[in-house]
Amino acid sequence: PAVEYGCEAPFEVEYHDSIASTNDRARELAASGASDVVVLADEQTGGRGRLERAWSSPPGGVWLSVVCRPDLSPARATLVTMAMSAAACAAVRETGVDAAIKWPNDLLVPDDAYARGGRKLAGILTEMEGEAGRVAWVIPGLGLNANVPADALPDDATSLLVELGEAVERRVLVQRILERFDALRGDPEATREAWRAHAATLDTRVRVTLPEETVVGEAVDVTDAGALVVDTGREERVVHAGDCEHLR
Ligand code: BTX
């Protein structure tokens, strides 16, 4: 492999120098019955974001997907995404970069010059399949701009390399992310606490764009289904999905 990754967390790691999408490969593995497998790539040629958006994945990043089979109802599968974002955020902070989670699950490096609250360092795409009211499998896919140079990043994005001025050891970073993720994933209360501790969105004025309306107010909490609680001044709205901007 172009990069050696080691991992002592209880995951088997399948490594690719280049692959279309680690989530696609993880879905194949899930369909054939695999569990606790990590697909990790140096480069993706067809990386996907949410809502069929493209995710730019040049060499040097951390592009990984985990096949999990938690004992959860589909409505609470968001806990897995929250565990991954909290784990990634904690590991990033250990490199010295002051990242925070923007609801639902982006990692941002705060930057006052950006109306949306900061520059995007990472994103998570979670896919799942339910079966008889339970989760059959869930795949959190993490895209983290680790050693990606500025000229390979989209506008409004940043990387650990850009922030630190030097490359990080991806092997260590991945191991820390997976160990934390493993510790959090079976524990809803710890997951929510860790998410809250790393959240940029709480106690912030936000504008959340929903398909039919826009909700503006103070973000006051996150539920353990991952929904954002927004105090509009007149009522508390529980928002399940949408694009969120931080307002000043
Ligand atoms: P998202 O839909 O929230 O964000 C996608 C948007 O982010 C794009 O439309 C673009 O504006 C911006 N963007 C694209 N690439 C980058 C980048 N490298 N850094 C910062 N901003 C970017 C977020 O989706 C979820 C992304 C998950 C990616 C992982 S990588 C491993 C796994 N495999 C896979 O195909 N997807 C996931």
Rounded distance from Cα 49 to ligand 1 centre (Å): 4
Whether the Cβ atoms of residue 156 and residue 116 lie closer than 8 Å to each other: yes
pLDDT tens by residue, 102-155 = 998 899 998 766 556 689 999 999 999 998 899 999 999 999 999 999 999 999
pLDDT score of 3 more than 90? no
Rg of the chain's alpha carbons, rounded to an integer?
A: 17
Higher pLDDT, 217 or 7: 217
How confident is the model at residue 1, as a pLDDT? 43
How confident is the model at residue 118, as a pLDDT? 86
CATH of region 12-197: 3.30.930.10
Rounded distance from Cα 236 to ligand 1 centre (Å): 30
How confident is the model at residue 9, as a pLDDT? 62
Higher pLDDT, 200 or 165: 165
- Is the dihedral angle over the CA atoms 56, 95, 109, 241 positive or is it negative? positive
How confident is the model at residue 20, as a pLDDT? 98
Higher pLDDT, 51 or 6: 51
CATH of region 204-247: 2.30.30
Higher pLDDT, 94 or 51: 94
How confident is the model at residue 148, as a pLDDT? 98
Among protein residues, the one with the nearest Cα to ligand 1's atom 14 is 55
Atom of ligand 1 nearest to the CA of 50: 2
**Whether the bond into 59 is cis, omega within 30 of 0:** no
How confident is the model at residue 194, as a pLDDT? 96
Q: What is the complex's ipTM, to 2 decimals? A: 0.99
How confident is the model at residue 241, as a pLDDT? 83
Beta strand 37-44 with 12-19: parallel, antiparallel or unpaired?
A: parallel
| Alpha carbon of residue 178 to chain centroid | 12
Sheet of strand 236-239: strand arrangement: 236-239, 228-231, 214-222, 204-209, 243-247
pLDDT confidence of 46, banded at 50, 70, 90? very high
Residue range(s) in the chain whose domain bears CATH number 2.30.30: 204-247
Among protein residues, the one with the nearest Cα to ligand 1's atom 9 is 53
d(CA 85, CA 195): 7
Residue range(s) in the chain whose domain bears CATH number 3.30.930.10: 12-197
d(CA 98, CA 89): 9
Mean pLDDT of 186-198: 93
Say what percent of the chain tops pLDDT 90: 77
Q: What six digits make up the tokens of 27?
A: 């879905």
How confident is the model at residue 243, as a pLDDT? 85
3-state secondary structure of 230: strand
- Pocket of ligand 1, beta carbon within 6 A: 21-23, 44, 47-51, 53, 55-57, 63-65, 120, 123-125, 141-143, 145, 154, 157
How confident is the model at residue 2, as a pLDDT? 46
Among protein residues, the one with the nearest Cα to ligand 1's atom 36 is 48
